[in-house]
Copies of this chain bind each other. A is one copy, B any other.
Amino acid sequence: MDDHDLEALLLDVRSGAVAPDAAVAQLRRLPFADLGFARVDHHRGLRQGLPEAVYAPGKTPEQCAAIVGELLENGTGPVLLTRADEQQLDATLRRCPGAEVTPREPVTGRLATLSWRHAPGREHRVLVVTAGTADLAVAEECVATLRAYGYGPRVIADCGVAGVHRLLACYDELVTADAVVVIAGMEGALASVVGGLTPAPLVAVPTSVGYGAGLEGVTALLAMHASCAAGVAVVGIDNGYGAACAVARMLR
């Protein structure tokens, strides 16, 4: 309900077409669908510029399917299901076929991202750079989300700073990108180095990849926040989805 709707409602009240107490009730009625176990927000796309995404962990397969179904049937725009296990994936695909599934082939122990009704394609150059091969699972979630939003990101894998020339080889792409997502575990140093090379907006994603002192991503998260490169913005550990959303906000 935006300003326009509100003014229309009040005009109806003045004209007597709507009684005051009915208007009160209507002002309270907000654009979500209550499924009992979830309040599906049909307004979010409008309000945040981002489609509703359903975070699968902790929901039953049936709940996943029902929420995605509600969003597809009564909403508009892209719909995402993130971090789905096999049961959640199956139940939701049965009810809501036609999703793009990432990764295409199931990988042992890796959760899936599903997306329906992609946004029209956009021209921006988005770069997703990972420090190592093992960061690719997080990159995949980020890429799947960006694709649902209409972007065609390019992934550059395995550019860790221990071989900084591998990164410098992409110097042209880095400085001309519209946005860069850096995904790195261990000490997360890649964010600082990339941040020093490019003027593009930069979103850093710490990952839980790495040896003992990585503390499941906390080290990378802290290190990225302590980065000596200015203007590095950080999202949560392993949060490829969040990074994609941050990019979508910047480039809308």
Interface, chain A (partner B; CB < 8 A):
3, 6-7, 10-11, 13-14, 16, 20-21, 23-24, 27-32, 36-39, 41, 43-44, 47-50, 53, 55, 57-60, 63, 67, 107, 131-137, 157-166, 168-169, 171-172, 175, 185-189, 192-193, 195-203, 206, 208-239, 241-242, 244-250, 252
Contacts and interface: CB of A to CB of B under 8 A. Distances in A.
Contacts of A187: 187-189, 192, 222-228
A243 to B, nearest CB: 8
B230 A219 contact: no
Q: Which 5 A-B pairs have the closest CB atoms?
A: A212-B237, A58-B134, A49-B199, A231-B245, A189-B189
A211 to B, nearest CB: 5
Contacts of A228: 131-132, 160-162, 186-187, 189
A50 B23 CA distance: 30
9 contacts: A39-B157, A41-B163, A47-B196, A58-B134, A162-B193, A187-B192, A188-B223, A230-B242, A231-B244
B225 A222 contact: no
Contacts of A31: 165
A59 B11 CA distance: 45
Kindly report how many copies of this chain are found in the complex they form together. 8
A38 B163 CA distance: 12
B235 A38 contact: no
A113 B235 CA distance: 27
A249 B50 contact: no
Nearest to A40: B158
Most chain B beta carbons < 10 A, residue from A41, A58, A175, A213:
A213
B233 A235 contact: yes
A71 to B, nearest CB: 13
Given A32-B165, A161-B189, A219-B226, 11 more contacts: A7-B20, A36-B157, A37-B136, A38-B157, A48-B230, A55-B134, A164-B164, A202-B249, A211-B236, A215-B222, A231-B245
Given A37-B136, A221-B213, A252-B199, A231 B50 contact: yes
